[in-house]
Amino acid sequence: MAEITLTAANFEAEVLKSEVPVLVDFWATWCGPCRMLAPVIERIAEERTDIKVGKVNVDEEPELAMQYGIEAIPTLMVFKNGTLAAKAMGYRPQSEIEKML
């Protein structure tokens, strides 16, 4: 499944009301570790059909970043049944991200 661009307008529908777990990547274009993580996130999105993968550009969606207390990027969050189930900051290998799911 392709990655979903998450915004304030679609976050509730795509993440909080999702029937499957959602991996959310809070990132920015200028962030080096975010760029390193991007292919890992893409691979997870392609390989896993049982989850959704969404990306929040913190520069374009500052209110979402504030709402979820993003202090450093990349920050990964896993939402299950509309609730935050796991959170990790910084680059993570795919195996670690898979364990969060």
12 is catalytic: no
Instruction: Give the active site residue among 1, 31, 89, 100.
Output: 31
Run of H or E residues at 85: strand 83-89
Q: Do the Cβ atoms of 23 and 41 come closer than 8 Å?
A: yes
Beta-carbon neighbour count of residue 28 at 10 Å?
A: 15
- Structure letter (DSSP) for residue 7: -
Instruction: Give the active site residue among 23, 24, 34, 76.
Output: 34
Q: What are phi and psi of 41, to 5 degrees?
A: -65, -45
22 is catalytic: no
Active-site residue list: 31, 34
